[in-house]
Amino acid sequence: MDQKPIPLGSENKSPTKPGSLPEDAERINYTLYDISNAVNTTLNLKELYQSIYNSLNKLMPLPNFYIAMYDHQKKTIHFEYFIDEYDDNFPIIETLEEPGCLTGEVLLSGRPLFLKENMLMEWTRKNKIVGTVPKIWLGVPLIIQGSVIGAICVQHYSDPGYFSHRHLEILISVSDQIAVAIERRQILDALEKKEKTLSLIFDQNPDAILITRMDTGTIANANKAFMDLSGLGSNAVLGKTTEEIGMWKDSRQRLELIAKLKAKGFYRNLEAILFPDNKAVFTLISSNVLDLDGIPHIISTIRDISDQKIFEDGPSQPLMKKTNDGGAGNSSKIILVIEDEDMVRDMAVKALKAFGYETLEACDGEAGITLFKKHHASIDAVLLDIIMPKMSGTETFRQLLKINPQVKVIVASGHVTNDDQKKIFTKACAYLEKPYQIMELKRTLESIFN
């Protein structure tokens, strides 16, 4: 964009003012270098803004200076950084549809603006001065690839001859470098924020996550859930191979998994028995190939399904219920959860366990019926989702009733769509509208069993 200054007022020819700029091009080059280097030496945008001001202040003393950033979507101006002799707070300009401030004029026109005392008085009468009225004001847009991202502005409150057009030319000459520095720092800050978010998700994920080299099996990273699953500390895991930590009973198991992974690039919910720290853990493993610095790695999500397998593989007879003292009894209730949405099912199962219930879980109607056939004599209630793939919730309900006409079913659904559903819902003990609150589920169960 053309950055030719708007010619307003005669140029101040006197270079003797305290704010006069040295005619030394070498010092300008040093300033440009400092601003460019600040992207790597500052930790965030706040520090970068301070560094930009420090560099410019060495070049031309700036008692009043601010950096304004423009949000194109919201049409707002944010004064991200300012040094001011009188004002200690700059408001957010809510709209630029009809610019009501000097900075807005610079942003919308994409051109520098130089206002002297007589023009500033005129702008004051138009109510386009935000804050204390200065005697002289300069503003220069910050432009990246033809788009205005913000502006740098300087002003003086008492000396109308403090700045000249020469100062404006210098600000124009450094504005491109300032814009680039700010954009790069914004990108870096966004990436750092994203990395922190991903790291938080990685560490707090309830499922174990493991990243290993495909060729050697060396563990590059693992989250806390994996450490808990394995019973090993990070020093005993990171940098070791999966074989060294005893993860596989037989090394051929890992090779078979890699062969399947190479064939498709991923696999989902593969059942495997792992042996970390010499204990057998029934798991579901989902993996993808991950390229890290040109080296193929495997990222795996590992879910412990040991409790579920104990239920599934047990004899087809009533399950012995334990008494939140360890002896046999019937004080604890067992709520089969049939739900195809993983997150909803996990939430329900964890909540029920926290409330003192033992649980069985199934990801669809067919799996739910299989479990119910085996353990219906011990199952006290069923939490059933209606909208599911394969076997629908209504058909699942019919099959449950065939096995046990007295089964207590809590139906969970976002909406009832047809008469068939309404008819079968009359046989349900309760209905929960999705998304439901955990405490709603707790109260519903208590009302059924009490």
DSSP state of 134: P
| pLDDT of 212 | 92
Q: What pLDDT score was predicted for residue 94?
A: 59
pLDDT in tens, 158-199: 999 999 998 999 899 899 999 999 998 888 888 888 888 878
Q: Check residue 332 and give its pLDDT.
A: 67
pLDDT above 90 for 446: no
88-109: average pLDDT: 73
217 vs 241: CA distance, rounded Å: 5
For the segment 98-126, the average pLDDT, to the nearest whole number, is 85
Q: Which of 83, 78, 87, 77 lies closest to 132, judged by CA?
A: 87
Residue 124's pLDDT band (cuts 50, 70, 90): confident
Q: Is pLDDT above 70 for 330?
A: no
% residues pLDDT > 90 (the chain): 26
Residue-wise burial string across 273-289, b where 16 or more C-beta atoms lie within 10 A, e elsewhere: ebbbeeeebbbbbebee
* Distance separating alpha carbons of residues 377 and 374, to the nearest angstrom: 8
- pLDDT at position 126: 78
Residue-by-residue DSSP string for 138-173: EEEEEEETTEEEEEEEEEESS-TTS--HHHHHHHHH
Q: Give the whole-angstrom CA distance, residue 106 versus residue 216.
A: 59
Buried residues in 301-333 as b, exposed as e (16+ CB within 10 A):
bbbbbeebbebbeeeeeebeeeeeeeeeeeeeb
Least confident window among 23-32, 222-231, 308-317, 342-351: 308-317
pTM: 0.50
What is the pLDDT, as a whole number, of residue 10?
36
What pLDDT does residue 298 have? 92
Cα–Cα distance measured from residue 183 to residue 130, given in angstroms and rounded to the nearest whole number: 26
Chain centre distance of CA 282: 31
Percent of the chain with pLDDT over 70: 82
Distance CA 235, CA 70 (A): 48
State the Cα–Cα distance between residues 260 and 247, nearest whole angstrom: 18
Distance between CA 280 and CA 41 in Å, rounded? 50
Average pLDDT across the chain, whole number: 80
Q: How far apart are CA 388 and CA 341, in angstroms?
A: 9
Q: How far apart are CA 184 and CA 409, in angstroms?
A: 57
Residue that wins the pLDDT comparison between 422 and 222: 222
Ramachandran class of 425: left when φ > 0, alpha when ψ lies in -120 to 50, beta otherwise: alpha
pLDDT at 205: 86
Name every residue whose Cβ is closer than 8 Å to that of residue 146 and which is 6 or more positions away in sequence.
1
- Convert 84-101 to b/e letters by CB count within 10 Å (16 or more is b): beeeeebeebeebeebbb
What totals of helices (H) and strands (E) does the chain contain, helices first?
13, 17
pLDDT of residue 381: 93
In this prediction, residues 218-232 reach a mean pLDDT of 88
**Residue closest to 63 by CA, chosen among 55, 78, 53, 51:** 53
Nearest-angstrom CA–CA distance, 35 and 17: 25
So what's the pLDDT on residue 392? 85
State the pLDDT confidence band at 267, using cuts at 50, 70 and 90. Answer: confident
Stretch 355-367: mean pLDDT, rounded?
88
Q: Enumerate long-range contacts of 315-324, CB under 8 Å, 24 or more apart.
A: 316/373, 316/374, 316/375, 317/377, 318/375, 318/377, 318/378, 319/375, 319/378, 321/358, 321/378, 322/358, 324/356
What are the pLDDT digits (tens) for 9-55? 333 333 334 444 445 678 888 888 888 888 888 888 899 999 999 99
Identify the structural domains of the chain with CATH numbers, from first to last. 25-194 (3.30.450.40), 205-304 (3.30.450.20), 316-449 (3.40.50.2300)
Rounded to the nearest 10°, the torsion over CA 68, 70, 71, 76 is: 80
